Amino acid sequence: MPTAVPDFAPAPAPPVIIVGGGASGLTAAGALARRGIESLVLEQDTEIGGTWARRYDRLHLHTMREFSGLAHYPIPNRFPRYLSRAQFAEYLNAYARHFQLKVVTGTAVQRITRDDHAWRVDERRARVVVVATGQYGEPVIPPWPGRDLYAGRVLHSVEYRNAAPFAGQRVLVVGAGNSGAEIATDLADGGAAFVALSIRTSPPIVPRDTFGLPVQRTSLLLSLLPAGVADRVARTTARLALGDLARYGMPRAAFTPYARRQVPLIDVGFVAALKRGAIAIRPAVTELTRDGARFADRAAEAFDVIVAATGFVSGLGRLLDVRGVLDASGEPIGRSGEPTTAPGLYFVGFVHSLRGHLFEANRASRRLARHVERYLNS
C-alpha cells in the first residue's frame, strides 16, 4: 500500500543566514530581498533595535539622516537631521516591516562552522552565512591593578543610561572616544559633583556642525583628497571653530584622522563643558586604589564611580570556527560585503570609516547582495 503524502510540505530553509540583526544585518537582508533572495536573520536581542533603545539617553546619531539610511529604504523626512537612539530603533523596525524580513530575536548564535556541503549556524544550515555582529560585540574593561581593592562602582559605558544615579558624586570617565566624551558631558550637565575624563590617546576633535556645515558632508568631500591635505584642512577648520583647547588641559591630538583612518571625537557639547570647567582632564589610569584611581603622572584621586568607555572587541574568534578570515586583532580580513577566502562566508558592518558607519554599511550591503546572487547561481 503506498505511503500517504501530506497535503503540505515544510517551507524550505532560506539559502542565506545573517547573524546579527542590527543595522548592518538588516541592510544586508534588505539588499538581498531587493534581489529576490530570502534570508533568515538571527538576532540575540529580544527585539529589533533593542541595543539602540538601551543606549544612554543623550545619544543621537552623529551622521545625517540623508546618509544614515539602510539599503533601498531611506530614513523618512519626518525624522530630524540627527536621529535619537529611540528614533533610529523605530526606523530599524520600519525597515524590517518594509521588506518583510524574517528576523528571529532572542537567538544568540554560539558557533559557525563549515561542513562538506553547507554552513552550519548552531543547528541551522545554509549555503551562505553573513556575519553582521559588529565591531562592538563584547565590552572591554582593562584589567587595572587594584580593581579588587576599589570600594566604588565600576561600570562599562554600555551600562550607562543617564546622569541621575550619579548626582552629587565624583565620577571618572576613562576613554576619550565619542561615548566617553558624551557621557562625561552628560554627567557634567546632569548634576555630578565632579567629572574627570582620563585620556590615554588624545583624539582630534571636530564639531558635528562646523559653521553650519555637517561634519559628515565635509568628510565625504575630504575623503577624496590625499590624506595629508585632508588632515591639514580638518585641523585648521577645527582650530578656527573650537579654539586652542590646550589651555583647558586637552592634550594635543595623538593622531590625524585621514592618515590613520580613525574616527575623531565629534563634539556635541563636550568642548563647551570643558571650557566652562565642568570636565577636568586627567592622564591615563595606571591602577585603582581603595577610594579611586592613580594616573600616569603618579597623582591619585578619589572617585565614587568609574565609567569605563574603553571600547569593545568583536568576539569573532570565539564565534567562527573558520581559518584565514580574521586578522590579528580579530576583525575580518578584506572589504566589507566582499567574498572571503571561505566560499559562502561574508561580513558586513566591520569597517573603520570617516564617512559614517551606516553610510558604509548601506554600500557594503549592496555589494554583498550582488556577490551572493552570483554565488547562489553558480
Quote the DSSP letter at residue 92: H
Range of the domain at 255: 140-310
Residues 6+ away with beta carbon under 8 Å from 366? 31, 71, 337
Structure-block grid coordinates of residue 367: 555589494
How far is residue 68's CA from residue 130's CA, in Å, rounded to a whole number? 21
Residue type, 209: D
**In-domain check, residue 6:** no
Residues 261 and 319 in one domain: no
Give the CA diameter of the chain.
92
Per the CB < 8 A criterion, the answer to whether 301 and 127 are in contact is no
133 and 151 share one domain: no
CA 106 to chain centre: 20
Last residue of a domain, one of 254, 288, 310: 310
Query: For residue 146, what pLDDT is reported?
Result: 97
Q: What is the pLDDT along the chain (378 residues), one digit of tens a residue?
A: 333 444 444 556 789 999 999 999 999 999 999 999 999 999 999 999 988 888 888 999 999 999 999 999 999 999 999 999 999 999 999 999 999 999 999 999 999 999 878 999 999 999 999 999 988 878 999 999 999 999 999 999 999 999 999 999 999 999 999 999 999 999 999 999 999 999 999 999 999 998 888 989 999 999 999 999 999 999 999 999 999 999 999 999 999 999 998 899 999 999 999 999 999 999 999 999 999 999 999 999 999 999 999 998 889 999 999 999 999 989 999 899 999 999 999 999 998 888 899 999 999 999 999 999 999 998
d(CA 60, CA 344): 35
Q: Which long-range contacts (CB under 8 A, 24 or more apart) does 81-85 make?
A: 81/214, 82/208, 84/59, 84/60, 85/52, 85/53, 85/55, 85/56, 85/57, 85/59, 85/60
Q: For the chain, what's the residue count?
A: 378
Whether residue 243 contacts residue 267, with contact meaning beta carbons closer than 8 Å, is answered with no
What DSSP designation does 21 have?
Answer: -
Cell of 258: 585621514
CATH of the domain at 261: 3.50.50.60
Q: Give me the pLDDT at residue 125, please.
A: 94
For residues 123 and 285, give the distance between their C-alpha atoms in angstroms, rounded to a whole number: 44
Grid coordinates representing 195 are 567629572
Kindly state the cell numbers that stand for 33: 530581498
Q: Is 93 left (phi over 0), alpha (psi -120 to 50) or beta?
A: alpha
- Position 188, amino acid: A
- 20 and 161 in a single domain? The answer is no
* b (16+ CB within 10 A) / e for 49-74: bbbbbebbebbbbbbbbebbbbbbbe
Q: What pLDDT was estimated at residue 9?
A: 45
pLDDT of residue 11: 55
> What cell was used for 286?
595606571
CB 295, CB 285: distance < 8 Å: yes
Asked if residue 127 and residue 39 are part of one domain, the reply reads yes
Last residue within a domain, chosen from 310, 329, 360:
310
Q: In what order do the strands lie in the sheet with 292-295?
A: 285-288, 292-295, 300-302
70 & 47 share domain: yes
Residue with cell 564611580: 305
Residues 6 or more apart whose CB falls under 8 angstroms from that of 10 comprise none
DSSP helix/strand/coil, 370: helix
Q: Hunting for cell 592618515 — which residue is that? A: 259
What pLDDT score does 201 carry? 95
Residues 171 and 254 occupy one common structural domain: yes
Q: Which amino acid is at 84?
A: S
Which ranges of 315-356 would DSSP assign to H, the alpha helix? 316-319
C-alpha cell at 116: 562538506
Domain count, the chain: 2
Q: Does residue 1 fall inside a structural domain?
A: no
pLDDT score for 4: 42
Helix 23-34 to helix 85-98 angle, to the nearest 10 degrees?
20
- The answer on 98 and 201 residing in a single domain is no
Q: Which of 310, 334, 356 is the last residue of a domain?
A: 310
